[in-house]
Amino acid sequence: MGLLQKACETYDVNTGDAAGRKRLRQIARQCVNYGQRVQNSVFECLLDPAQCRSLQNKLCKLMDAEKDSLRFYYLGKKYESKIEHFGCKQTYLPEDTLMV
């Protein structure tokens, strides 16, 4: 496995019709498989390069390029110093212990 790095993935799906609402659900479902939702359409993921390409390919196949958009922000390995959080939701730290 390659080096893991933090990426932030965001999406904006046109939900003006039933097909858009379906794409929104499908894209969100894929994102949950790779990371943690930190806001409605924002996920933080800890990925190696192959996982990142796989996620991008899956999402690009689901989206409608004429109506929707995807954005990936690559935060690197030292992402802790690149993220500031304010407010009620707890920060997502993928290396911490996860209690299920």
Residue 44's domain is classified under what CATH number? Answer: 3.30.70.240
41-95 per-position pLDDT tens digit: 999 888 888 999 999 999 999 999 999 999 998 877 777 766 776 777 666 555 5
What pLDDT score does 22 carry?
96
**Domains held by the chain: number:** 1
**Per-residue pLDDT tens digits for 82-98:** 677 677 766 655 555 54
Is residue 60, in this structure, part of any structural domain at all?
A: yes
54 within some domain: yes
Q: Tokens 């390029």 — which residue? A: 65
pTM: 0.76
Would 92 be classed as within a structural domain?
A: no
Asked if the structure places residue 49 within a domain, the reply is yes
Range of the domain at 26: 5-82
Q: Residue length, the chain?
A: 100
Q: Which of 79, 88, 7 is nearest to 44 (CA)?
A: 7
